[in-house]
Amino acid sequence: MRVTVGLGIAMLVWGCGGGTGDSQEADAEMADEAAVPARVMITAPADGAEVDAGPVLFVMETEGLEIMPAGTMDAGTGHHHLIVNGDVDWALPIPNDPGVHYHMGLAQTEFTIEDMMPGEHRVIAVVADGVHIPLDPPVADTITVVVR
């Protein structure tokens, strides 16, 4: 067993060049980032939460990509949108419909919807590229909130 583990470690070190140079560490970090699929999560309010009518704060977190201002077209970047009781056309830019589609083009990760009316609402967080087209593959999360 020790011989097998020792040979495995030796081959791993040899295959990696045996060093700990900056370029190898950067390559490893890039490989780790590429291995993590991009995703967005609405972390507040929680799915199924009951909230008071009026302003509701939505908080989004992402993994596997960087949130940048609208207009940024670099690979691995995007910006947030919230869609309330609406749908997403995954091939077209997200429209700017007051009360349905909310854009966070300044790289915000939090957004307050000021006028949530009582009732059940489906809220979709979508990350889109610099020209508001949803990322492909889609990076989205959906929750339901009940406003009382």
> pLDDT tens digits, residue range 11-64?
433 344 444 445 565 555 555 555 689 999 999 999 999 999 989 999 999 999
Confidence class for position 1, pLDDT limits 50, 70, 90: very low
Residue 24, H or E segment:
helix 22-35
For the segment 127-137, the average pLDDT, to the nearest whole number, is: 97
CB–CB of 105/69 below 8 Å?
yes
* Residue 5 clears pLDDT 50, i.e. is over it: no
Beta-bridge partners for 41:
61
pLDDT confidence of residue 138? 97
> What is the phi-psi region of residue 43: left when phi exceeds 0, alpha when psi lies from -120 to 50, beta otherwise?
alpha
DSSP state of 87: -
Q: Residue 3: what pLDDT?
A: 41
Q: Name the token pair of 30.
A: 């890039």
Mean pLDDT for the stretch of residues 86-99: 94
Q: What is the pLDDT of residues 61-86, one digit of tens each?
A: 999 999 999 999 999 999 999 999 99
Give the SS3 label for residue 134.
strand
User: DSSP state, 137?
Assistant: S
E strand segments, 1-148: 39-44, 50-51, 54-63, 66-67, 77-84, 101-104, 110-116, 119-128, 140-147
Tokens matching residue 78: 């995007």
Q: What is the pTM of this model?
A: 0.76
